[in-house]
Structure 1
Amino acid sequence: MTRTESEVGELYMILRDRKKLASILIVQDISQRELARAAGWKSHSYMGRLLRGEAKTVDAEAAVRISHRLGLPLEHLFLTVVSEKTGSPVQSERTKRGAKKSRPAA
């Protein structure tokens, strides 16, 4: 069965390292509020949750805006994930290789 456009899940981004993001904000003298505005958010509370590790995901548009504001490539800050329509994430090839288990011989 081939996938149709209606079978594709959501695209979202996972913050790779919250401490790295916090360090970048300090070095570049950017506040949480300023970065939250750049992400297109009305409030800075979610940015605070990301920096404290209470949240890990952002939508793709916010991730692109954050990376652009910080002047960094998107892949330095975020991992890209596409969820299946059922809600389970699709594994990347790298993850699949690392998660292979040995199977008993038949």
Structure 2
Amino acid sequence: MELRDRKKLQRLMIVQDVSQRELAKAAGWKSHSYLGRLLRGEAKTLETEPALRIAYALRVGVEDLFLTKVDSSEYDSGQRHVNKKVAA
């Protein structure tokens, strides 16, 4: 998943008085360093499970904070597979 807006995540953390360490722990991470990278804009993507846990911890919808990243090559190969079935 991809973080939509790091500033929105920062604002939610401030408003709800949640520290980086607390949110990283809620995400299931042992360290808060990756969350820090997300907040600084040095990283943009993360696995689905931590994204869901972060959204839950901040009491917002996952789609409010994250975009689902779709691999276009997987989509293309799926489309060709579907087209082959239809043509057969």
Alignment TM class, shorter chain as reference? 0.7 to 0.9
Aligned length: 75
Query: Which segments of 5 or more consecutive residues in structure 2 lack a partner in the other structure?
Result: 76-88
Runs of 4+ in structure 1 displaced over 4 angstroms? none
Q: What is the root-mean-square deviation of aligned Cα atoms in Å?
A: 1.4
Query: Which segments of 5 or more consecutive residues in structure 1 lack a partner in the other structure?
Result: 1-12, 91-106
Q: Which has the higher helix share?
A: 2
1:50-69 equivalent positions in 2, closer than 5 A:
50-69=38-57
Q: Which has the higher strand share?
A: 1
What CA deviation, in whole Å up to 9, does each residue of 1:32-87 have, x standing for no partner?
Answer: 00000000000000000000000000100000000000000010000001325xxx
TM-score by length of 1: 0.67
What is the DSSP-based 3-state SS (H/G/I as helix, E as strand, rest coil) of the residue aligned with 2:18? coil
Distance in 2 (alpha carbons) for counterparts of 1:69 and 1:46: 17
TM-score by length of 2: 0.80
